[in-house]
Amino acid sequence: MKKNSFLATVSNKKTVKILLFVISTFFFQGCLDPEPYHDDKQEQESPDPVAAVVQKVGPSVVNIETNITKGSGVILNKDGYIITNDHVIRGVNSVEVHLLDKRTLKATIVATDPRRDVAVIKVEGDNLQAAELADSKNLNVGDDVIAIGNAQGVENSVTKGIISNLNVDVDTGINIRRCIQTDAPINHGNSGGALVNMKGKVVGINDMGRSDSESMNYAIPINDVKDVADQIIEKGYVSMVYVGVNLVNEKTNDGEGFLIIKDIMPNSPAAKFDLKAGDIIIKVNDVRVPTVSKFREQIKNSGIGSTVSIGIARKGNTGYVSGIIQVTLDELPKGYYSIDWS
């Protein structure tokens, strides 16, 4: 009996050892290779990068409604200045601004720059969230961007794309604008809204999309917009170089473009330096100018106070006579509509 009791004791000890071994194996394996911890709540609350940008910038992008059309705008500062496109508020009688927090504010038009398609309007209101502006000189082709605006009347509509190209010359017929090209769709109503980078900073103001290509859309670099806005806020108008001619685009039978002076502004550089209505303008500083926009580009590049050589053809008794007229450029007087005068 004692022998059997001893064997039972030994057997029980072996069983205990085996159990302890099994338990310790599972315990240490769990410590060394624990199952990953998932915080489902945290994952749900961590926003997508695009959503995070929209949440940051959204309150700074406003919907603009006029008696004619709808568009978008970006709050420039807490004083109530808002930047948008000139074509959004051109020729309108009333302007209302709808904020993301559902407030509606009456706006006044401060001034516009039709050539660069930039306008500044102003509202009176509290707790306005100004957008953070980037330096558009630091943009690179391939950068991710987001377009936010009032596309097709839908509040704070968002599209995403990349910077497709930089410093693209867009000929609008009245001027050449140097734009950012993006494949982020810019639809009707998006004009004046924000093109932002993934840090939530505004890099450009949405301007227009091409009707023949959904992937070719354009925005005005924010540095150019800010230059216009700063002048408007400080002086009430935009300083602009001019000659003082009202030009008409014409074409020869071969399709070659040229310009005819329709009218001369009184007391302008054109009047002082003997340009005349009916003159055909061919070149500026030896560069052909077949369109109004090309002419304005050459004049703009020359700057206020500089002297330019304008090549013309003037009708005489026996036909047209070519010549060069030296014209010293001046600043366009306040109150003249810059689309009409070059």
- Catalytic sites, residue numbers: 87, 117, 191
Output DSSP code: residue 37: P
User: Cβ contacts of residue 44 below 8 Å, gap of 6+?
Assistant: none
Half-sphere exposure of 197 (CA within 13 A, CB side): 19
SS3 state of residue 17: helix
Single-letter code of the amino acid located at 111? A
Secondary structure E strands in 102-244: 104-113, 118-123, 144-149, 157-171, 176-182, 194-196, 202-210, 213-221, 241-242
Single-letter code of the amino acid located at 18? I
Half-sphere exposure of 153 (CA within 13 A, CB side): 2
Residue labelled with tokens 């306005």 = 128
